[in-house]
Amino acid sequence: MVRFFRWLLFPFSILYALVVRFRNWAYDSGLFKSTSFNLPVVVIGNLSVGGTGKSPMTEYVLQLMKPYLKVAVLSRGYGRKTVGFRYVETDDTAKLVGDEPLQIKRKFPDSMVTVCEDRVWAIHNIQDEVDAVLLDDAYQHRKLKPRFSILLLDYESMQHPILPLPTGNFREPLRGSKRADVVVITKCPDELPVSIKSTLSERLRKYTSAPIFYTKIHYQQLQRVDGSLLENKTGMDRIALVVTGIAKPQPLLDYLQPQFKEIIHLAYRDHHSFSPTDLQKISQTFADIDTSEKIIITTEKDMQRLPPSFVEKHPLYFLPIEQVFLYDQAPAFDRIVKRAFAC
């Protein structure tokens, strides 16, 4: 029913696509102004709405460059209840700064992480404090002219027609990939056949000559907020209540399913702010599971939005993820990114 309703909105998708095309032309032609900076400014983004793995890529690039430069991460801070410019601190809440910036700050406490809707103004504000700026989800922020752009396209979305909002999930069509300096196909299957890789590359080559890389998600060990790992048990004797507030939870569920006797899933929208009613529902659902062998599992991003009081009184574990390059492409990607940050 939802899909049918979205197809009814297809005329609006055509209008949306025309507006996006005019906007990009206006920036490309100089009719609209873009601001550039003397220090390296690297943008990570996508063409679709959510679920492409921007956070793992941001963390990967930050980890790569930390030994060489003082890199600031700048985010819009999607989902926060505040406005304007803020430095992110480890003891902030997701309501103040957004879940993804908070996650990055807690993993990289020595790095500057900031949030601001106006990315150009924010860079003006911090440029004297750092050597470079790394922006997540800013591919469509055309007021900023970055030195280097990393475009992410998730594997699943590339298996279907690319349709603009509101019928589809794309902010702009594939022709938008021409602005990218590298393209990364994310969330690929563990074993991606060369034939499919070639088909995807040929499809993108109609629009971009940028190097194309392929990555998959690697799930790490389940752990608590204090870093303790889940005790391994023989046999599938546990039931897991999985709580997600992310765009595409199915890959996580597919990964967890074989490891547990039963999976119970409570799904919320991406960046969902958990209310007292939500927390009560989660607690009651967990209490109603008729076994002592049970845990609650969430994502690392969702963990940032759960209050410490809730975390402390439940056997709550989160599942960190990292990005892994296929076809031994990591060294080539690393070299390109290091050149992009060279002052």
**Is the model's pLDDT at 302 over the cut of 90?**
yes
Say how many CA atoms lie within 13 Å of 234 toward its Cβ. Answer: 0
Q: According to the model, what pLDDT value does residue 5 have?
A: 65
Q: Is residue 79 part of a domain?
A: yes
- Are 145 and 110 members of one domain? yes
Residue 174 shares a structural domain with residue 303: no
Same domain, 165 and 291: no
Helix (H), strand (E), coil (C) string for 64-115: HHCCCCCEEEEECCCCCCCCCCEECCCCCCHHHHCHHHHHHHHHCCCCCEEE
Residues 127 and 68 in one domain: yes
Please tell me the chain's helix, strand, coil percentages from 3-state DSSP, rounded to the nearest 5.
35, 20, 40
Rounded to whole angstroms, the maximal C-alpha distance in the chain is 65
Residue 6 belongs to some domain of the structure: no
Structural domain harbouring 264: 239-319
CATH code of residue 120: 3.40.50.300
Task: Place 1 in a pLDDT band, splitting at 50, 70 and 90.
Answer: low
What's the rounded mean pLDDT across residues 7-36? Answer: 91
Residue 105 sits in the same domain as residue 143: yes
Residue 197 has pLDDT above 80, yes or no: yes
Residue 55, pLDDT score: 93
Q: Is residue 30 part of a domain?
A: no
Residues 70-98 have a mean pLDDT of 96
188 in the same domain as 313:
no
Closest CA to 79 of 58, 62, 94: 94
At 215, which helix (H) or strand (E)? strand 212-219
Same domain membership, residue 193 and residue 122: yes
Same-domain pairing of 58 and 156: yes
Supply angle C-alpha 181, 185, 191, rounded to 5.
140
**Of 239, 43, 257, 267, the residue nearest 141 (C-alpha):** 43
Judged against a pLDDT cut of 80, whether residue 343 lies above it is answered with no
Are 282 and 305 contained in the same domain?
yes
Q: What is the pTM of this model?
A: 0.93
Judge whether 252 lies within some domain.
yes
Q: Is residue 161 included in any domain, yes or no?
A: yes
For the domain that residue 315 is a member of, what is the CATH number? 3.40.50
Task: Indicate whether 16 belongs to any domain.
Answer: no
What is the per-residue pLDDT for 286?
98
Q: What is the pLDDT of residue 11?
A: 83
pLDDT, mean over the chain? 94
- For residues 311-336, b (16+ Cβ closer than 10 Å) or e, as one string? beebebbbbbbebebbeeebeebeeb
Q: Regarding beta strands 71-75 and 113-115, do their DSSP bridges make them parallel or antiparallel, or are they unpaired? A: parallel
